[in-house]
A and B are shown apart, each in its own frame.
Chain A
Amino acid sequence: MTNDDKRKAFDLVVWTSSVLFACALVAHEALAKDKSFAVTDQVYKAECGSCHVAYPPVLLPAGSWQAVLSGLDRHFGTDASVDAKSLAALRAFLDSNAGRDRRASAGTPGLRISETDWFRREHRKVPATTWQGAAVKSPANCAACHTGAESGDYSERGIRVPN
């Protein structure tokens, strides 16, 4: 290999890795800016984000959300009732921001995000001992591991599983 060939090979390696690095950086930024889980609706945040994180509406179909709203006075063992005005606002907000996947049309709407196929798949590597630990307590406690949950950031790099 002549010196010229070597230089060309070197240039090729440098250019290829630069381009790959730039692509990775762009993809990373795009993922970091994924705001699909961010919740900005003030009524939803205030009424549905005090006892637990204001869950991303996209994680349940509209039928599930309407079923949840119909039983707020007996909400997973607690009273989470809201006034009529807030209830109407929540209905409208969740209707237009609910998930639109296959679950939306099948059978009785599930009420728990943690029981959806999607949630189970995403958390399949989390051992039972982690779920039961004092710092987590419940799958409802998103922020125990997803440190950016309050701002809608559930990305891998924000995960800190407590001991």
Chain B
Amino acid sequence: MRRELRILGLGVGLLGTGIVVAQTPAEIQRSYESAARQAAPAFGGFSAQRGETFFKSAQGGDWSCASCHTPNPVAAGRHAVTGKAIAPLAPGASPARFTDPAKVEKWFTRNCNDVLKRTCTPAEKGDVLAYLMSLK
């Protein structure tokens, strides 16, 4: 716990200095894992299967993640309103995906609001990441 706090402190410190630390998708997923465990001590790990279902289902509104990122996230997507091309979301197809924690959080905030009209939980984010990382 103390070690995690120290890492967290280091992270906050680096954010404060404006230094962007490149991470791997797995590292970003681990930060969601700690958050998910904190929210629910009984948290039993992420599921690519759950992530896929979440990714492909509309969540009350008109859109799902797949509306823009397609049901096949290794393929290029297209913005549902503007039609602009979107590079594939899966890191297996676009290596730059999920390497910048601030960017990842920015897009989860925007897109979860669009699809769910709320923020996503760390468990949901980790599931989606598990699904995307499973795609080759």
Which A residues are closer than 8 A to B by beta carbons?
Answer: 50-53, 73, 76-83, 135-138, 140-141, 143-144
Contacts and interface: CB of A to CB of B under 8 A. Distances in A.
Contacts of A138: 81-83
A77 B68 CA distance: 14
A141 B110 contact: no
Contacts, number: 45
Interface in B85-124: 85-86, 106, 109-111, 113-114
Interface residues of B, number: 13
B82 A52 contact: yes
Contacts of A52: 79, 82, 84
Contact of A79 (B79, B85, B110): B110
Nearest to B78: A137
A137 B109 CA distance: 26
A22 to B, nearest CB: 40
A92 B127 CA distance: 39
Given A50-B86, A79-B109, A79-B114, 9 more contacts: A51-B84, A53-B84, A76-B81, A77-B81, A81-B110, A83-B106, A136-B83, A137-B82, A144-B83
Contacts of B79: 51-52
A159 B81 CA distance: 21
A52 to B, nearest CB: 4
A140 B106 CA distance: 22
Contact of A141 (B82, B86, B106, B111): B82
18 contacts: A52-B79, A52-B84, A76-B81, A77-B81, A79-B110, A79-B111, A79-B114, A80-B110, A82-B106, A137-B82, A138-B82, A138-B83, A140-B81, A140-B84, A141-B82, A141-B84, A143-B85, A144-B83
Nearest to B111: A79
Contact of B82 (A51, A79, A81, A135): A51
A140 B110 contact: no
B81 A81 contact: no
B83 A140 contact: yes
Contact of B83 (A77, A79, A137): A137
A78 B114 contact: yes
Contacts of B113: 73, 79, 81
A82 to B, nearest CB: 7
A78 B81 contact: yes
Contacts of A137: 81-83
